[in-house]
Amino acid sequence: MTLRLYNSMGRTKEDFVPREAGKVSMYICGPTVYNHIHIGNARTFLSFDLIRRYLEHRGFDVAFVQNITDVDDKIIRAAAEAGVTAAEVASTYSDAFLKAMADLGVEKPTAQPRATETIGPMIEMVERLIERGHAYVVDGDVYFAVRSFTGYGKLSGRDIDDLESGARVGVDERKNDPLDFALWKSAKPGEPHWTSPWGEGRPGWHLECSVMSEMELGVPFDIHGGGSDLIFPHHENEVAQSEAATGKPFARYWLHGGMLNINAEKMSKSLGNFTLLKDVLEAYPAPVLRLLMLQTHYRSPLDFSTERLEEASTAYERFANMVRMITWLRDRPAPGIGAGVADREALQTVVTEVRARFAADMDDDFNSAGALGALFELARAANGFLSANETVLSAPDLDVLGDAAATVIELLGVLGVDLPAGETGPSLPVGVIAIAAEVAGYSGDDTSAAMDALLEARAAARADKDWARADAVRDGLAALGVRVEDTAAGPRVIVSEN
Ligand code: AMP
Ligand code: ZN
């Protein structure tokens, strides 16, 4: 099967053929570190983490480069407002960014260059562009001459003459053409600056990605990614700079993630409609947020809401409960007469089909929404099988259920959604501790030990024909949504959802 992906350059779905067999080189635009990132930024980083993980799962050796923009107008502004240096702002928020990515379970880039550590190569690229007639100097600033590059507009599909008429308003008089953009900016007093052939100054934002991608990966490299809001002008300018400087094609496939919206409007710092990632991660486990994101295809817009977060939380618990329950059952003997052969084979067929659908969906432009849909179907089938055969489970039944659980764990893992580790059995409400204290004299604080104490008390009460005590256990648990079912393998605890 071939992996197909949508290439923004050309706007079609294409077969993915990397430059070098078995290897993928990818570059993803990183953050400008002037504040904590919001969940819109996080969506884009999660989308490319998904793509990277799937490529790795497909057996590719992936070089994944992401820059950190640690000098920029926004950083300088934030520093002035806070009364600290730009370097302090950049250091605080790049640390916060790295922590947020780790908390989110995003795999570390293989290289993570910073703008302030790449000034030399940036000056070199500007010199190359001036030499080749693609850039010019005005009073310590250097501009890229957009009309000197014939392919300008090919990524975003814009026409240079239309752009020109739109750009006429409020033009900087010093530019030869309103479309030209800064490669190098002279420093104003108090701003961070580096020595260059054109005086003290700092690099323009677009330049750093052209330089760092070439430096780390060479050109052309395989995949360039970022949010769709970066197509114009950032990525269009990157193409122009790089292809003009090297005379070679720049990136072979351009991938762009859709925006995360709030009430149908893009989440952004400037609109003030943002939710910080760190605040969401304080209230919800990272895999829940990831699950929410992956339920929408990475190129489609995603409308974020707290209700969707709650739904994702329930969905995550459903997967986790299914796996916990099967793991718990498999740790116990299952001498029941067993489900019918037809039922068991039907579940086995679902496992096989879900594996095939997962691969086909992910090979089709990383359709995580489809892939997750298949996994939900498997969880539903396994839960259905369990509740239909709860009291008669046999060892072959548990083998098929074990296969279903292993499939869910493995394929969610490919998507980066890890289930809670080390817990088996139903997740019990904390209330069981109080009942165990009252009825069974339990004095610890562990729900599963409390449940064991209650099961013992229940068995002892039944043996003694102490029905009042046995009923107290049953009624206390029922009030918490927990029931105990007697099966061939002994009592089974069933926790109803919610
Ligand atoms: P910035 O720090 O603003 O350059 O953004 C970092 C990354 O987040 C870029 O790849 C942007 O495309 C992406 N981004 C910004 N806002 C959103 C949003 N609302 N939804 C998805 N991605 C976004
Ligand atoms: Zn970039």
Summarize the confidence of residues 237-243 as an average pLDDT: 98
Q: Helix H segments across 364-418?
A: 368-389, 395-414
Ligand 1 pocket, CB under 6 A: 29, 31-32, 40-41, 43-44, 226-227, 229-230, 257, 259-260, 266-268
Q: From 28, 229, 262, give the residue whose CB has the most ligand 1 atoms within 8 Å, as the site to mutate.
A: 229
Confidence check: pLDDT of 346 > 80: yes
Q: How far is the CA of 227 from the centre of ligand 1 (A)?
A: 6
Whole-prediction pTM value?
Answer: 0.89
State the average pLDDT for the chain: 93
Confidence check: pLDDT of 322 > 80: yes
Q: How far is the CA of 308 from the centre of ligand 1 (A)?
A: 20
Give the residue, by CA position, lying nearest to ligand 1 atom 12. Answer: 227
Residues of the chain with pLDDT > 70, as a percent, come to 97
Residue 296, SS3 per DSSP: coil
CA atoms within 13 A on the CB side of 46: 33
Confidence check: pLDDT of 497 > 60: no
Closest atom, ligand 1, to C-alpha of 43: 21
Closest atom, ligand 1, to C-alpha of 33: 2
The answer regarding whether domain 306-414 maps to CATH 1.20.120.640 reads yes
Model pLDDT for residues 101-115, shown as the tens digit of each residue: 999 999 999 999 999
Q: Edge-to-edge, what's the strand order for the sheet holding 221-227?
A: 61-66, 23-28, 221-227, 251-257
Dihedral sign, CA of 13, 254, 54, 293?
negative
Residue 66, SS3 per DSSP: strand
Closest atom, ligand 1, to C-alpha of 44: 22
The per-residue pLDDT for 71 is 95
4-283 homologous superfamily? HUPs (3.40.50.620)
Q: How far is the CA of 259 from the centre of ligand 2 (A)?
A: 16
What CA–CA distance (Å, rounded) separates 474 from 103? 41
The per-residue pLDDT for 425 is 62
Q: How far is the CA of 205 from the centre of ligand 2 (A)?
A: 8
What CA–CA distance (Å, rounded) separates 356 from 352? 7
Residue extent(s) of CATH 3.40.50.620 domains in the chain = 4-283
Model pLDDT for residues 23-77, shown as the tens digit of each residue: 999 999 999 999 999 999 999 999 999 999 999 999 999 999 999 999 999 999 9
Closest atom, ligand 1, to C-alpha of 230: 12
Model pLDDT for residues 279-304, shown as the tens digit of each residue: 999 999 999 999 999 999 999 999 99
Summarize the confidence of residues 160-182 as an average pLDDT: 85
Q: From 44, 93, 256, give the residue whose CB has the most ligand 1 atoms within 8 Å, as the site to mutate.
A: 44
Model pLDDT for residues 403-451, shown as the tens digit of each residue: 999 999 999 999 999 998 766 666 778 888 999 998 889 999 888 888 8
User: Which ligand has its closest atom nearest to the C-alpha of 29?
Assistant: 2
Residue extent(s) of CATH 1.20.120.640 domains in the chain = 306-414
Give the residue, by CA position, lying nearest to ligand 1 atom 7. Answer: 41
Q: How far is the CA of 45 from the centre of ligand 1 (A)?
A: 9
What CA–CA distance (Å, rounded) separates 375 from 458? 37
Confidence check: pLDDT of 468 > 70: yes
- List 226's β-bridge partners, or say none: 256
